Every structure is written in structure tokens, then in C-alpha cells.
């Protein structure tokens, strides 16, 4: 049984520690829980009551932008997902669907075991609820609500209800548009931790 203390910062109030119980779906989740120790979660992206922390995955990848003639617009994100703070063996991937699903979700996370067929174990697609700036030099921390799944409730991402993107580093678009041609593409390296929540039983 694994317990993680996450601090939720409420506006105008002292931070209060909140213990969230992980359902600990094997090493995929357990190895990354140390990353969350002492992390302060802004109240703006707090998960609604009735949901428990399921686990976290470290991500390294790129945010992809396209210049529309006026501004840089996010078109996709691609990342490998890792089951430990320093490991190099990816256990999944993150990407955007080419078209939103029936509930408007595009950001997707998949867990994969390349040593088995089918390689895809489970997946969740979600839609952004709130984006909250934390570091002016990095992409926002986000709360997303699940919109569709692949895999049953026994699989890692099958029961996920909410996703948070936290501990982000870098990933911003270029700071200038001067001299940029319409349609130009820029990929910005980023790092993050994605935490996954399930309905509390």
C-alpha cells in the first residue's frame, strides 16, 4: 500500500497536506511516486473530490507548434513515458489524436509492452479542463478529464478519470514571430510528470 502526500494550495488559505492512496498497479506506478513527494498542486488544477491517485509517469518529448500567420499554435505533443525517475526504457507514449474523439478529447496516453502482442495494453484520451501557469519559462500545469479509454478497468489506464500535467520544464513556443513564414513548424523539447486518478471506491 502506497501513500503519497500532495499539497493543495488554496487561494488565501494555508496549504494543507492531503494524503492520496494509490491503487498501486505494479511497478509502472510505484517507481515514480517519489517524484510526487512534497509537490504543491495549485488549487486551480486540483482533482474533484471522490477521486484517488492511481500513479504517475515521467514524460520526455516535444511540444509541436505551427505558425498561423499571427501566432504559434500548439498542434501536437509527442513524448515517451517512463516508469522510473531516471530509467531509459519507455513503457508508453503520449500524443494527440488526429481528430478529437466524441467528447472532444485529443491528448492521449498509452501503455505498451513491446514484448507482447498486442503491444498496446491500455490508453486514455482526455480533454483539458484548466491550464495553470506555474513557471514562466515552461508550459502550464494542466487538469484534464478523461473522455475515452482502451483497456478494461484492470489495465493501467483503463479506469482513469482525470489526468494532471505537473512538474513541467520548457516546452514553450518561440518567443518571436518576426520573419516567420506562415505554416512554419517548431518542436520544443519538454519534460513533465503526468499523474492519473481513478474513481474512489
DSSP, residue by residue, 136-197: TTSPPEEEEEEEEEES-TTSTTTTEEEEEEEEEEE-PPPS--TTPPTT-EEEEEEEEEEEEE
Question: CA-to-CA distance for 179 and 38, rounded, in angstroms?
Answer: 44
Tell which residue, 120, 121, 126, has the closest CA to residue 194.
126
Q: In terms of C-beta density within 10 A (0-12 exposed, 13-18 middle, 19 or more buried), how is residue 52 classed? A: middle
* Residue 118, pLDDT score: 66
* Residue 98, pLDDT score: 96
* Residue 85, pLDDT score: 78
* Residue 155, pLDDT score: 86
Distances (CA, A) of 112 to 16, 147, 193, 199: 36, 20, 18, 23
Beta carbons of 96 and 113 less than 8 angstroms apart: no
* Predicted confidence pLDDT, tens digits, the chain (201 residues): 233 334 343 333 223 223 332 333 333 455 676 777 788 899 999 999 999 988 889 999 999 999 999 999 999 999 999 987 777 788 899 999 999 999 999 999 999 876 766 678 899 999 999 999 999 999 999 999 999 999 888 888 999 999 999 999 999 999 999 999 999 999 999 999 999 999 987
Which of the 8 DSSP states describes residue 29? H
Written as nine digits, the cell of 163 is 489526468
* Residue 86, pLDDT score: 77
* Residue 29, pLDDT score: 57
Question: CA-to-CA distance for 169 and 152, rounded, in angstroms?
Answer: 32
Tell me the DSSP string of 69-132.
SSSEEEEEEEEEEESSSS--SEEEEEEE-SS--TTS--EEEEEE-TTSSS-EEEEEEEEEEEEE
478497468: which residue's cell? Answer: 153
* Residue 117, pLDDT score: 63
Question: CA-to-CA distance for 50 and 23, rounded, in angstroms?
Answer: 14
* Residue 146, pLDDT score: 98
* Residue 30, pLDDT score: 59
Query: Measured at the alpha carbon of residue 34, what is the angle toward residues 30 and 38, in degrees to the nearest 5?
Result: 135
Amino acid at each position: 500500500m502506497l501513500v503519497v502526500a500532495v499539497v493543495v494550495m488554496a487561494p488565501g488559505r494555508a496549504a494543507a497536506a492531503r494524503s492520496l492512496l494509490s491503487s498501486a498497479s505494479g511497478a509502472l506506478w510505484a517507481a515514480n511516486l517519489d517524484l510526487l513527494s512534497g509537490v504543491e498542486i495549485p488549487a486551480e488544477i486540483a482533482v474533484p473530490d471522490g477521486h484517488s491517485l492511481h500513479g504517475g509517469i515521467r514524460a520526455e518529448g516535444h511540444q509541436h507548434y505551427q505558425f498561423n500567420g499571427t501566432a504559434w499554435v500548439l498542434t501536437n505533443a509527442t513524448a515517451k513515458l517512463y516508469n522510473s525517475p531516471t530509467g531509459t526504457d519507455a513503457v508508453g507514449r503520449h500524443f494527440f489524436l488526429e481528430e478529437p474523439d466524441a467528447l472532444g478529447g485529443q491528448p492521449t496516453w498509452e501503455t505498451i509492452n513491446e514484448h507482447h502482442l498486442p503491444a498496446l495494453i491500455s490508453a486514455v484520451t482526455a480533454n483539458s479542463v484548466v491550464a495553470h501557469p506555474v513557471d514562466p519559462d515552461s508550459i502550464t500545469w494542466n487538469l484534464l478529464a478523461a473522455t475515452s479509454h482502451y483497456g478494461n478497468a484492470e489495465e493501467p489506464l483503463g479506469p482513469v478519470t482525470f489526468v494532471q500535467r505537473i512538474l513541467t520544464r520548457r516546452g514553450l513556443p518561440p518567443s518571436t514571430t518576426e520573419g516567420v513564414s506562415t505554416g512554419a513548424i517548431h518542436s520544443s523539447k519538454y519534460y513533465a510528470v503526468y499523474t492519473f486518478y481513478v474513481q474512489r471506491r
